[in-house]
A and B are shown apart, each in its own frame.
Chain A
Amino acid sequence: MKKRAVLFNLQLFTFLFLLSSCSSPALDDYSDVSYELIDQNGETVIFPDDFKGAPLLVGFIYTNCPDICSFITANIGKVYNELEDPGNTQFLLVTFDPERDTPEVLKSYADAFDMDKEPFRFLTGDPETIDSFMQRVSLRTQESYSRELENDERMYFLSHTDKILLIDQNSRLIFDYGGSMTPVSILIEDLNKL
């Protein structure tokens, strides 16, 4: 009997660890917000209302970031390609650098990744809206360093939280991942549970 209790405690510990570390159900509920954003084709979309009814995988990027953010973008592309049944799952890449990432810039970026097509949408917005959105999802950014280029342009880079979110059909946040380092297989596994 005593041994049983120990085993049970171990399981309980595992369960609590699961809850506390990364997978507690509904970490947030975005039903109370309404962010007006613009996709790479210049179309207005409302987050989260326009995406209700389908699971949603959201990555946060800025297009002048070729390593970490490319990794996030490519991984989201891979999740779609490797999902056996993507169903009506939607995939969003939202920029936290709206001043430079205009719809046109996002479109050419999406095209370079072969993702300028359904079910991917690359979103930007006015800086205030993006700012509220980023605060709500706890995504922080700060300018890191800049370079003067030959054409007198100043190129600056951002440090940023590395993030992918999994949101369910009812606009509830189910998982909050470290974006670039989360294996595609884990994202697929979690999507399949929805």
Chain B
Amino acid sequence: MKTAAASLLLFVLVMAGCSGETQESAESFEISGEGIQIEGAWARPASEGRMSAAYFLITNFEDQNDNLISVQSDVAQLVEIHESYELDNGMMGMREVPELEIPSQSTIRLEQGGLHIMLIQVTRTLADGETFELTLNFANHGEQIVEIPIRL
């Protein structure tokens, strides 16, 4: 018995090592709040003229679904809602997400290797420890300004 259990454990560890974690981009849980809440925001450092990505959690406490329709910032030439995804041939690519639906009473996770706010050609160097502002435009909820800390 002992041997079988050990083998099974090994099997599970190997599986985890090779395939990495599968990730969910949406989940529901019960916390209280109101409106749209942004948490855990951060962005990658980048030197002027280069790329960065911003990440955060968006929770919609309203009874209606909402959509993140655009994002603006004066720290980049172009700001887009993006998603990294695996192509059929196994390669990793990135695509624009025209609108991001935030269902009622749920959280959407922007995180490394998945959904992100893409900052194309930043207009100033974004250094570790600094912050910048992003303006998120929601269909129902309107404009929301978020302070994004830059870190590694």
A: residues with CB less than 8 A from B are: 7, 10-11, 14, 17-18, 21-23, 63-68, 70-71, 74, 77, 108-109, 111-114, 140-142, 144-145, 147, 149-151, 153, 155, 157, 159-162, 178, 180-183, 186
Contacts and interface: CB of A to CB of B under 8 A. Distances in A.
B89 to A, nearest CB: 8
B47 interface: yes
Interface of B: 3-4, 7-8, 10-11, 14, 16-21, 44-47, 50-53, 77-78, 82, 84, 87, 89-96, 112-113, 116, 118-121, 125-128, 152
Nearest to A141: B91
- Most chain B beta-carbon neighbours within 10 Å: one of A66, A68, A71: A66
B123 to A, nearest CB: 11
B121 A149 contact: yes
Nearest to A158: B93
A70 B43 CA distance: 11
B119 to A, nearest CB: 7
Report, nearest first, the 3 A-B pairs whose CB atoms are least far apart: A181-B20, A159-B93, A66-B51
Nearest to A110: B47
A147 to B, nearest CB: 6
Contacts of A111: 47
Contacts of B120: 147, 149, 155
